Structure 1
């Protein structure tokens, strides 16, 4: 049975006549637990009795666990929740920039407070704070996920954030819609660029691949021949295949381990030595905490490993490109390296879609002509939006749309519907018609762009 005992205060190393009460109660393992700081004996005994009632009913939470610092629990939680590198890097950013600076040393029982979280979100989000409201909302969602883990592990009785809608930010602006292209717009962008740079957004609009699937595509998975039969006659088509194991290029942030840090120092030593040999002044840089790596791995989910039918005009263009291209990955840089998404967008797609100013010829620079805007704000993600929009507009069956885009069929209809050769032929015919339409319309009013067949 729980009981209370006096705890005398000590001042300057000497016991005084002032005291508080400490509750003592028997824990599930038979040892005695305690909680100090009660002003009266009755309050201490009542609190101890409540602990023993909770222990008998199976709802007891160890007070020591309730006082676990949020940062300490996060480390425990991360070891039990291994995710894909992209997810891990996103979570690491939200923890380092928003959650840990606020809650790292705060006990879980205090973090698990709806009012405190609302106040924190208001301070973090623009215009009061420096973070975008969407980023703060993602951090709040991650916080709820972490607290749910604490509930499951018996560190808190319940996650009070679960199911609670917390508005983030005060600006109720509409989210901008992704920019998608008409056939003539993507054709004009294609004509404006050169070589592989021109082919990449065009292919993405007509195939709907994710960026990583396009940038990581291997030539061995291009233009594979498939044969079906329609009304007893052969129907031959060509596909690109997104491989289940190495079908996507990933660009993720990793924490530098000891070996990675040693490699960085060796590279830095080599850089400094090269600078000294050339007579340049150079200072040693500060070692980074993280490193960004490009690597091939599985696509987003098991449905993303798929084959996408290629329209005939693109079979010809892609075939010509593969014949002249010396590298394993058809949509790499001209030097054969993997593209970083931001580099391709900034250097190639933004000027082609948004337009650019002319630069006069000068010594060491041949100059360049001005480009008028074609489709401001268009991105490679917008190219994927474009393809699904076209399929929807062309009446492509839902089963084939889901298969082409690599989406997960979550309903009963997705379980029972299947793709037929007739569906495939319809989609390819409609894409071919869009290509011809795009050339025709663009040719009527796009003077000034470089001509390309």
Structure 2
């Protein structure tokens, strides 16, 4: 039975819930009789509603508190969790953290959305969708009765910002972009994306054991074998996600994991020119992953885009310039000066690394670097137990770091990134060949798109579709290359003359020595 509970000068209505515990109505009453009537009425509603009864106080829970509880119960992929945290932290919590979950209305949400930056319209749509998901979960927990924004769609700003469509490019343009890449592996990444439609994460995760795998189809007692890339269902994609740190903030987490969906674990068919290029690449490539960095590590998306962006968007030229000397170069120049002035004579033992580090106020590794350079130039002899001044007549100039000149590039397809290759492959398959568009089932299987329903279950890839696709991509490749290109001459491009860009756009520095007599520069490393 319900009862009235006195709290100072007012009364609260306490009622018995289905689990035997007591709840409290949010309203306050001036008399004991009114509180008792309200408690009995609530118990009657519970008996009639049964398990469908909604806690009257549940709607008073702040949105921020419920969102934290709901997020803690989710087991989604790290990328999904990271995106949800971003939407909550950036959009929803600043606006609705202390709003009761029962106090939302669609007009109020639209009013808030209109005050946001038009450039964030996509994120705002995602935030509203997440808000609806969280409120629907509150209904499931019997905290609120209805979700006022369920299946509501915001039409966006009245004057939407100019949307930047996903840039895609024709094969001839992509071939030119690929020729600007720094290594053969990078060039192949561009070509694989353009002529197979693979995702960036899938390309980065290709292991040797899954590259150029033989896929055999048997038709009319005849075997037809194709060389394919196999995307593993467990480790077929390279992921970059964020996770919260215990001390606050977030950090980037990278790992090999499943591809985007179950349909993305597939075999990817390739045109003959790509098969040939990959065969030649694997012969000389020393690393496990086919499209890794030159050192064998996997790409971070930001670093990869720093490589690709200048090739597609163009870049200004940068003249060669001399950099200020580093600490080890200053030490090397000083020791060299002592030798030239006769302060250090031939066969004389030089101070130890510890003594020199103390004298130059530098670390031992820095002094060691200077000694190694001087030994390479024949100034010092480090072959014995102690370092001595060499007896030879070597007189190199002081070490100088010079940034080589960088050639300017005209834009080819500004804004093009690897995902643009998926757009072009899809368009090319729709455009098709002389027989028309390729079958939808092949298009979806090649791109790793889900294909549900009866058609997805009972439609399969046929031999003719594979042959049409490989021939179509080969034809577009041949139309995209120039007659004087390396492929027409049956030779690989020369990568040795290309300027390497590493890190955050920093160009590889080349160590040169300056001749004391003429001031000319010559390469030493």
Could you state the TM-score of these two structures normalised by the residue count of structure 1? 0.81
Match of 1:253 in 2: 242
Corresponding position: 1:385 with 2:423: yes
Q: How many residues align?
A: 402
- Of 162-171 and 209-218, deviating more is 162-171
**Bigger mean CA deviation after superposition, 112-121 or 416-425:** 112-121
In 1, the alpha carbon distance for the partners of 2:207 and 2:22 equals: 65
CA distance in 2, matches of 1:169, 1:44: 48
Q: Deviations over 1:161-201 (max 9, x none)?
A: 10223344343346432111211111111222232222111
The corresponding residue for 2:147 is: 159
Quote the residue 2:320 is aligned against: 361
Question: Per-residue deviation at 1:305?
Answer: 0.7
Structure exhibiting the larger radius of gyration computed from Cα positions: 2
Following TM superposition, by how much is the alpha carbon of 1:49 offset from its aligned partner in structure 2, in angstroms? 5.1
Residue 77 (1) aligns with residue 70 (2):
yes
Question: 1:294, 1:338 within 8 Å by CA — same for their partners in 2?
Answer: no
The CA distance in 2 between the partners of 1:187 and 1:32, in whole Å, is: 72
The 8 Å contact of residues 187 and 442 in structure 1, kept in 2 or not, is answered as no
Structure 1: where are the runs of 5+ without partners?
Answer: 10-19, 258-286, 444-449
- Helix, strand or coil: the match of 1:308? strand
RMSD: 2.7
Instruction: Report how far residue 451 of structure 1 moved.
Output: 6.5
Conserved 8 A contact 2:24-2:57: no
Q: Could you say what secondary structure the match of 1:360 adopts?
A: coil
Instruction: Tell me the distance in 2 between the aligned counterparts of 1:428 and 1:238.
Output: 11
**Correspondence 1:177 to 2:158:** no
Please list, as runs of the form range in 1=range in 2, the aligned pairs for 1:96-175 lying within 5 A after superposition: 96-110=89-103, 112-123=104-115, 125-126=116-117, 132-173=120-161, 175=163
Q: Distance in 1 between matches of 2:458 and 2:484?
A: 41
What TM-score, normalized to structure 2? 0.71
Runs (5+) with no aligned partner, structure 2? 323-401, 486-491, 496-525
- Separation in 1 of the partners of 2:218 and 2:21? 76
Q: Partners in 1 of 2:458 and 2:153 — Cα distance?
A: 36
SS, match of residue 216 in structure 2: strand
Compared CA separation, residues 61 and 174, structure 1 to 2 (3 A): same
Deviation at 1:6, TM superposition (A): 7.0
Tell me which residue corresponds to 1:13.
Answer: none
Cα offset, 1:389, TM superposition: 1.5
Provide closer, same or farther for how the CA distance between residues 57 and 223 of structure 1 changes in structure 2, counting only shifts above 3 A: same
2:188 paired with 1:188? no
| Cα deviation 1:80-122 (Å, max 9, x = unaligned) | 3210000000011111122222323332222x33233223323
* 1:431-452: CA deviation from partner (whole Å, max 9, x where unpaired): 1111111114897xxxxxx977
Q: Which segment drifts farther, 20-29 or 393-402?
A: 20-29
User: Could you report, residue by residue, the CA deviation over 1:349-405 in whole angstroms, capped at 9, with x for unpaired residues?
Assistant: 111111111112222121111111111111111112122222222222211111111
Q: Is the 8 A contact 1:190 1:201 kept in 2?
A: yes
Paired with 2:248 and 2:82, the residues of 1 have a C-alpha distance of 15
CA distance in 2, matches of 1:435, 1:452: 20
Give the Cα separation in 2 of the matches to 1:292 and 1:5.
53
**Structure-2 change in CA distance of 1:45 and 1:170 (3 Å):** farther
